[in-house]
């Protein structure tokens, strides 16, 4: 079976695995106080141009979102996201489980725009009865979005302006950060991002690691008090913290994190061209490693004989949106195989 259904259907990038192996027989202080974790933190501080950043390594995306958002909010505050935001749909209510509402505003191509946020906050602050409402506290957004789209630097900057105007914090979920940075359409750098939000994470799981996300509080005062204890309280503290530290130490050596992502982007663009060459309609114009294409239901059914299913959502009664994703573990042959399988499926062959 052809595996293009996700970027987490694989192991670690060989260089990440290599670093795990070469450090395996050494002993270390636990809970993330080991030398590799310290080294990884230093490299991330450098890559983000944030010498004062507090960096924490957590295990997975939903866990990171719930832990960081809960810690950034007061008890009476809510997270503001767009309707397609990951925390609003695909995290089993993990944020609400910590006691906070997710206020979902309209999405534009998978993104929360400055205008939408401004309009909401204008109405909210003008409402004399807003003390009877949960108070918006943190804005949640993603880079790239769940639908593969990305902000331009100017758009993110404007969004952050609105946040600061209304006293909101901005948190960026970077589960696929690398693919955003490496996109040919992108004009956002890690230092730019770090100076235009209050917290973000650099996703490892979906960009070449076995697991692990690097949470960055870019400036002094950004990290919630007693964050270490909160991480433990949320069940997110690894006894062998080195597991994630070692991986990020490798990812931030010799540009590996970026190179992994660029490889995936190149293949994604190849795939996008191929899909369009076959006359298929894209659901979303994505410049990153996730490509969403509209397939007739019968084509999709035949395709599933050879390709691991990747249904995103119904398009209409006769068509379905499918997602194809590249990663470090994708190669050109797989794109060619997908093309062949699609041609067969379109031609009515199983």
Q: Which stretch binds a copy of itself (CB under 8 A): 42-50, 75-83, 188-196, 337-345?
A: 75-83
Phi/psi at 186 (nearest 5 deg)?
Answer: -90, 140
Applying CB under 8 A, among 152, 164, 226, 349 the residue interacting with a copy of itself is 226
| SS3 (DSSP) at 112 | coil
Q: Binding of a copy of itself at residue 60 (CB under 8 A)?
A: yes
Which residues partner with 142 through β-bridges? Answer: 173
The answer to whether 88 touches 104, Cβ cutoff 8 Å, is yes
Whole-number minimum distance, CB 290 to a copy of itself, in Å? 14
Site residues for a copy of itself, window 237-256 (CB under 8 A)?
237-240, 242-243
Q: Binding of a copy of itself at residue 311 (CB under 8 A)?
A: yes
Applying CB under 8 A, among 152, 164, 220, 232 the residue interacting with a copy of itself is 232
Residues 6 or more apart from 302 whose CB is under 8 A from it? Answer: 344, 345, 348, 349, 350
Number of residues that bind a copy of itself (CB under 8 A): 83
Q: Which stretch binds a copy of itself (CB under 8 A): 45-53, 92-100, 189-197, 299-307?
A: 92-100
User: How far, in Å, CA of 63 to CA of 50, rounded?
Assistant: 24
CB-facing half-sphere around the CA of 85: CA atoms within 13 A:
29
Applying CB under 8 A, among 44, 81, 102, 215 the residue interacting with a copy of itself is 102
User: How far, in Å, CA of 176 to CA of 186, rounded?
Assistant: 13
Residues 6 or more apart from 166 whose CB is under 8 A from it? Answer: 121, 125, 136
Q: Binding of a copy of itself at residue 94 (CB under 8 A)?
A: yes
Structure tokens at 167: 């006293």
Site residues for a copy of itself, window 138-177 (CB under 8 A)?
none
Site residues for a copy of itself, window 28-57 (CB under 8 A)?
28-30
62 vs 195, which CB is nearer to a copy of itself? 62
Q: Binding of a copy of itself at residue 119 (CB under 8 A)?
A: no
245 vs 287, which CB is nearer to a copy of itself? 245
| SS3 (DSSP) at 142 | strand
Site residues for a copy of itself, window 176-215 (CB under 8 A)?
205-206, 210-211
**Chain centroid to CA 68: how far?**
14
**Chain centroid to CA 202: how far?**
8
Q: Binding of a copy of itself at residue 17 (CB under 8 A)?
A: yes
| SS3 (DSSP) at 2 | strand
Q: Binding of a copy of itself at residue 76 (CB under 8 A)?
A: yes
Applying CB under 8 A, among 228, 285, 298, 332 the residue interacting with a copy of itself is 228
Whole-number minimum distance, CB 128 to a copy of itself, in Å? 7
């Amino acid at each position: 079976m052809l595996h293009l259904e996700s970027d987490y259907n694989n192991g670690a990038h060989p260089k990440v695995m290599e670093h795990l192996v070469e450090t395996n027989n050494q002993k270390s202080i636990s809970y993330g106080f080991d030398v590799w974790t310290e080294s990884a933190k230093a490299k991330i501080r450098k890559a983000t141009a944030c010498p004062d950043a507090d960096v924490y390594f957590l295990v997975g995306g939903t866990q990171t979102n719930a832990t960081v958002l809960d810690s950034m909010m007061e008890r009476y505050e809510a997270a503001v996201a767009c309707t397609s935001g990951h925390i609003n749909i695909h995290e089993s209510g993990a944020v609400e489980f910590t006691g906070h509402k997710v206020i979902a505003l309209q999405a534009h191509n998978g993104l929360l725009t400055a205008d939408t946020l401004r309009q909401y906050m204008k109405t909210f602050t003008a409402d004399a009865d807003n003390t009877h409402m949960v108070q918006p506290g943190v804005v949640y957004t993603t880079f790239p979005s769940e639908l593969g789209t990305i902000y331009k630097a100017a758009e993110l900057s404007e969004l952050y302006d609105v946040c600061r105007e209304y006293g909101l914090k901005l948190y960026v979920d970077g589960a696929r950060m690398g693919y955003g940075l490496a996109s040919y359409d992108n004009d956002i750098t890690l230092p730019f991002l770090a100076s235009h939000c209050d917290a973000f994470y650099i996703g490892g799981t979906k960009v070449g690691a076995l697991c692990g996300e690097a949470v960055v509080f870019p400036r002094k005062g950004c990290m919630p008090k007693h964050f270490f204890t909160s991480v433990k309280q949320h069940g997110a503290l690894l006894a062998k913290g080195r597991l994630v530290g070692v991986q990020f130490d490798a990812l931030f050596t010799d540009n590996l994190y970026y190179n992994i992502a660029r490889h995936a982007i190149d293949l994604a663009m190849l795939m996008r061209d191929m899909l369009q060459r076959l006359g298929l309609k894209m659901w979303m114009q994505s410049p990153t490693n996730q490509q969403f294409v509209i397939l007739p239901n019968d084509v999709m059914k035949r395709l599933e004989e050879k390709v691991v299913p990747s249904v995103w959502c119904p398009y209409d009664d006769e068509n379905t949106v499918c997602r194809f994703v590249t990663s470090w573990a994708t190669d050109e042959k797989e794109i060619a195989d997908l093309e062949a399988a699609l041609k067969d499926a379109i031609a009515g062959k199983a």
